[in-house]
């Protein structure tokens, strides 16, 4: 039986879709039981949280655990509590943890990657079998720019000329689902990316092609970007983390392209152009504002 945490999120939802296609036995962990009603497939569900995990007798039912929590200030603390509950249950499940590209680099001080690094150090110390899936930035992150694109046809980000191997959440989920349902992945770290590393200027060009409207790119100052994020309701901690992330991008940290999606799933990753075409409605309709962070 597989336990999927983060089941209602953009990756967790796709993981459930892929596991349903694989006819796997799945239980989704949700904060509120009613949230399970709209999940794909017909998974069982349990209501629990990372800081109030299921009891040991429940956790012992799962031999595979998909570990994913929101990129918030308390992420490392919350995941550590949950991992300790798995250890205390005593059955040693295989943990498939979603991290982020860069988390294994001790020189990467982006707070989101640091959180994943802290969790990984604790997880490795437990002796539980583990596989890390550490994707590049998600193509879905580009939706945070939808409002500005509609108003000014300008993609503004403090990313300089840095390149990013943007990857679709569904491709990351496909990798995780295959790891959860097949042998030979324990101890591995996979870094799913898209088929090419793009500058934000290149993303603007893809947007121009898909939407038949000239879209420009502005290398926004960190100050202006922070003001925009705070005005959109992003917390100072999260806004500063996003700026750290953009600086990492500027310095070439995200310029990564791998064959991980193809190697694990047997299918190539979705291109930015194809994803943008499929996501047209998200850019043309009203957006929900900036997410808490890019991860």
- Is residue 260 in some structural domain? no
Tens digit of each residue's pLDDT (9 = 90 or more) over 19-65: 999 999 999 999 999 989 889 987 899 999 999 999 999 999 999 99
The dihedral sign for the CA sequence 20, 25, 29, 33 = positive
Find the domain containing 15 and state its range: 2-134
- Is residue 182 in some structural domain? no
Whether residues 115 and 12 fall in one domain = yes
Phi, psi of 131 (to 5 degrees): -130, 135
- Is residue 240 in some structural domain? yes
Cβ-in-10-Å burial (0-12, 13-18, 19+) of 176 comes to buried
3-state helix, strand and coil shares in percent for the chain, rounded to the nearest 5: 45, 15, 40
Whether residues 155 and 280 fall in one domain = yes
- Closest by CA to 14, choosing from 114, 133, 125, 117, is 133
- Is residue 110 in some structural domain? yes
Whether residues 149 and 280 fall in one domain = yes
Q: DSSP character for 145?
A: G
Edge-to-edge strand ranges of the sheet holding 130-133: 44-47, 26-30, 2-4, 64-67, 94-98, 130-133, 189-190
Whether residues 7 and 128 fall in one domain = yes
Whether residues 121 and 74 fall in one domain = yes
Among residues 89, 110, 134, the one where a domain terminates is: 134
Q: How many domains does the chain have?
A: 2
pLDDT of res. 292: 43
Whether residues 128 and 63 fall in one domain = yes
Whether residues 206 and 274 fall in one domain = yes
Whether residues 86 and 154 fall in one domain = no
Whether residues 49 and 97 fall in one domain = yes
How does DSSP assign 1-59, residue by residue?
-EEESSTTSHHHHHHHHHHHHTT--EEEEESSGGGGGG-SS--EEEE--SSSPPPHHHH
- Is residue 48 in some structural domain? yes
To 10 degrees, the CA torsion angle through 267, 4, 257, 160? 140
- Closest by CA to 279, choosing from 165, 149, 108, 110, is 149
Q: State the Cα–Cα distance between residues 12 and 32, nearest whole angstrom.
A: 16
Whether residues 90 and 225 fall in one domain = no
Among residues 110, 134, 158, the one where a domain terminates is: 134
The CATH number that applies at residue 46 is: 3.40.50.720
- Is residue 278 in some structural domain? yes
The CATH number that applies at residue 143 is: 3.90.25.10
pLDDT of res. 287: 52
Whether residues 58 and 127 fall in one domain = yes
Residue 271 tokens read as: 């291109």
- Is residue 175 in some structural domain? no
pLDDT band at 294 (very low <50, low <70, confident <90, very high): very low
Tens digit of each residue's pLDDT (9 = 90 or more) over 79-93: 999 999 999 999 999
Tens digit of each residue's pLDDT (9 = 90 or more) over 160-203: 999 999 999 999 999 999 999 999 999 999 999 999 999 999 99
The DSSP bridge pattern shows strands 163-164 and 198-199 to be: antiparallel
- Is residue 111 in some structural domain? yes
pLDDT of res. 150: 87
Whether residues 110 and 152 fall in one domain = no
């Amino acid at each position: 039986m597989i336990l999927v945490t983060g089941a209602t999120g953009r990756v967790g939802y796709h993981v459930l879709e892929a596991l349903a296609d694989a006819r796997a036995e799945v239980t989704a962990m949700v904060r509120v039981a009613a949230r399970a009603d709209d999940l794909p497939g017909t998974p069982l569900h349990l209501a629990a949280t990372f800081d109030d995990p299921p009891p040991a007798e429940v956790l012992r039912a799962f031999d595979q655990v998909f570990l994913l929590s929101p990129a918030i200030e308390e992420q490392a603390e919350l995941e550590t509590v949950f991992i300790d509950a798995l250890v205390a249950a005593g059955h040693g499940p295989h943990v498939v943890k979603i991290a982020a590209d860069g988390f294994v680099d001790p020189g990467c001080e982006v707070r989101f990657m640091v959180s994943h690094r802290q969790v990984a150090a604790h997880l490795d110390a437990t002796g539980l079998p583990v596989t890390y899936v550490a994707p590049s930035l998600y193509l879905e992150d580009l939706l945070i720019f939808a409002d500005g694109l509609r108003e000014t046809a300008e993609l503004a980000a403090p990313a300089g000329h840095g390149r990013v191997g943007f990857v679709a959440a569904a491709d990351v989920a496909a990798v995780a689902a295959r790891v959860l349902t097949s042998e030979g992945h324990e101890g591995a770290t996979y870094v799913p990316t898209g088929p090419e590393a793009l500058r934000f200027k290149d993303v603007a060009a893809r947007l121009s092609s898909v939407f038949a409207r000239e879209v420009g790119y502005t290398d926004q100052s960190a100050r202006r970007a922070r003001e925009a994020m705070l005005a959109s309701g992003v917390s100072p901690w999260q806004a500063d983390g996003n700026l750290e992330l953009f600086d990492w991008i500027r310095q070439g940290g995200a310029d990564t392209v791998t064959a991980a999606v193809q190697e694990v799933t047997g299918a190539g990753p979705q291109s930015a152009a194809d994803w943008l075409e499929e996501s047209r409605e998200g850019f043309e309709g009203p957006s929900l504002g900036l997410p808490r962070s890019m991860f």
